[in-house]
Amino acid sequence: VLLVVIITLLAGSLSLIVSTVKGFLPPRWDAQRDEVEDQISQVFKFLPLEMDAETERMIVGSIEAGLDIGFEIAQLPTPLPRPVKDFLQALGGWITAPLLRLGGWMGYAFWVLLVAKLLGGRATLSQMLGCTALYVAPQILTILQVIPCLGPILAFVAFVWGLVIYIKATAVANELSPGRALLAAILPAAVLIGLISLAV
Q: Over the stretch 134-160, which tens digit does the pLDDT of each residue have?
A: 999 998 888 888 788 888 898 899 999
Q: Which residues of the chain have pLDDT under 50?
A: none
- The reported pLDDT for the residue numbered 99 is 92
SS3 58: helix
Q: Is residue 119 part of a domain?
A: yes
* CB contact at 8 A, 101 and 152: no
Q: Is residue 54 part of a domain?
A: no
* CB contact at 8 A, 142 and 155: yes
Total domains in the fold of the chain: 1
Q: What is the dihedral of CA 19, 25, 27, 33, to 10 degrees?
A: -70
Q: Is residue 60 part of a domain?
A: no
Q: Is residue 69 part of a domain?
A: no
- The reported pLDDT for the residue numbered 77 is 80
Q: Is residue 161 part of a domain?
A: yes
Q: Is residue 167 part of a domain?
A: yes
- The reported pLDDT for the residue numbered 48 is 61
What is the domain extent for residue 178?
Answer: 2-27+75-199
Q: Residue 139: which of 18, 5, 16 has the closest Cα?
A: 5
Residue 77 — φ and ψ, nearest 5°?
A: -65, 145
AA identity, residue 6: I
- The reported pLDDT for the residue numbered 170 is 95
Q: Backbone dihedral region of 120: left (phi > 0), alpha (psi from -120 to 50 degrees) or beta? A: left
Q: Is residue 117 part of a domain?
A: yes
Q: Is residue 65 part of a domain?
A: no
